[in-house]
Amino acid sequence: MDEVKDFLKSRTFCNLFIIFVNIAVFLIMEIIGDTEDVEFMLRHGASYTPWIVGYKEYYRLVTCIFLHFGLDHLFNNMFALMFLGDGLERAVGKVRYLMIYLGGGILANVVSCALEYRTMDFSVSAGASGAVFAVIGALVYIVVVNRGRVDEFTGKRLVLMAALTLFEGFTSTGVDNAAHVGGFVFGLLFAVLLYKKPRQSRRESSWYY
């Protein structure tokens, strides 16, 4: 128990809160229904382009970020977020982290809806992966600005992670690749707008060069 407490204490507040919210929502949804039932998820806030555009149910662009199809879906997203989100929150602060996570997640869903509306190929979707990719995109930019490393993250590691995940998505069925790509791009753009590189002291800068 002490190890668990120490681990939780070492996590950043907003990221940990988002993870707890996702887990709480999942547990509630499992109690009242089945998170692997598409119709049930649709009734409770999953994204579906015809209803978002036709019935103007824009709230689904937000609610679907906190819904997951089954335990594996939840675990994969929250496991990645546990470590990636901490690094981003330490780099940009609580408010900017929330802006990148939520803003990137929402805009990722907008990209997905726009593509579906254009192709007329509709599906019910949910999950935090668009927001997680926004976190990855933001971290990639911050790592580049800081010449290759932030916290325990390196640019090569993040790009490789994003590339492998995207490749897996494009070679698998039932994955919203448009949301992944959109989240990554908008996360990077949010970081460009919101991140300010800490100034180095004279001692640090002279030592570096």
- The answer as to whether 70 is a domain residue is yes
Q: In the predicted model, is pLDDT for residue 201 greater than 50?
A: no
pTM for this structure?
Answer: 0.90
User: 200: which DSSP letter?
Assistant: P
- The answer as to whether 208 is a domain residue is no
- The answer as to whether 64 is a domain residue is yes
70-79 residue pLDDT tens: 999 999 999 9
* Structural domain harbouring 165: 2-197
State the pLDDT at residue 10. Answer: 78
State the pLDDT at residue 202. Answer: 44
**Domains of the chain: total:** 1
Active site residues: 129, 180
State the pLDDT at residue 204. Answer: 41
Any idea which of 11-20, 52-61, 70-79, 149-158 has the lowest mean pLDDT? 149-158
- The answer as to whether 117 is a domain residue is yes
CATH code of the domain containing 71 = 1.20.1540.10
- The answer as to whether 205 is a domain residue is no
- The answer as to whether 202 is a domain residue is no
- The answer as to whether 209 is a domain residue is no
Summarize the confidence of residues 137-161 as an average pLDDT. Answer: 79
